[in-house]
């Protein structure tokens, strides 16, 4: 569910996920743009039952921006998204992708998804679960919960 709380403590529910076409099981926090829209991900649901990237406007209207297929594009987006100045969204999927260990992706404002990196499960890591950080130079930073030289995860950087 997506909700807001007023300064006086009153809660208003903006959207309740059905687990169907609108997605289901949102894990991470939302990202807000200057127009008051919110962006996030769901772990499940969507057209292919592999999760979604969504937008919710201030009135609670949800739009699915992307449906993960569970193939080379990834599956199970546990982390939220980060948004750049051009309106592109960046995030991770926990599994699938070219090697089966998750992806780092970019979703442009037209809804086109590009896989920027597919984890191999080796020294680069596997199974990212948290949101990314974007710096001023366009570098993306994140963590993977598995893989790495010791098998216990990595901190990674993806350059533009």
Instruction: Return the bridge partners of 105, or none.
Output: 91, 115
- The answer, yes or no, to whether residue 91 has pLDDT greater than 90, is yes
- The answer, yes or no, to whether residue 58 has pLDDT greater than 90, is no
Question: Any idea what the CATH number is for the domain that residue 13 is in?
Answer: 2.120.10.30
Number of domains observed in the structure of the chain: 1
Mean pLDDT of the chain: 96
- 13 falls in which pLDDT band (50, 70, 90)? very high
From the CB of residue 152, how many other CB atoms can be counted at a distance below 10 Å?
Answer: 11
- The answer, yes or no, to whether residue 112 has pLDDT greater than 90, is yes
Q: For residue 85, give its domain range.
A: 2-158
Closest C-alpha to 130, from 83, 90, 87: 90
């Amino acid at each position: 569910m997506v909700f807001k709380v007023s300064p006086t403590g009153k809660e208003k529910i903006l959207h309740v996920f059905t687990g169907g076409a609108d997605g289901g099981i949102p894990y991470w926090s939302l990202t807000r743009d200057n127009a008051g829209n919110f962006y996030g991900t769901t772990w499940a649901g969507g057209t292919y039952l592999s999760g979604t990237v969504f937008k919710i406007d201030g009135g609670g209207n949800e739009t699915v921006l992307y449906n993960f297929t569970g193939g080379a594009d990834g599956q199970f987006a546990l982390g939220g998204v980060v948004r750049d100045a051009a309106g592109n969204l960046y995030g991770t999927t926990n599994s699938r992708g070219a090697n089966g260990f998750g992806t780092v992706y970019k979703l442009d404002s037209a809804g086109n998804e590009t896989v920027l990196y597919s984890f191999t499960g080796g020294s680069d890591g596997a199974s990212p679960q948290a949101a990314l950080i974007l710096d001023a130079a366009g570098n993306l930073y994140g963590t993977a919960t598995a893989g790495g030289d010791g098998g216990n995860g990595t901190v990674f950087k993806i350059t533009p």
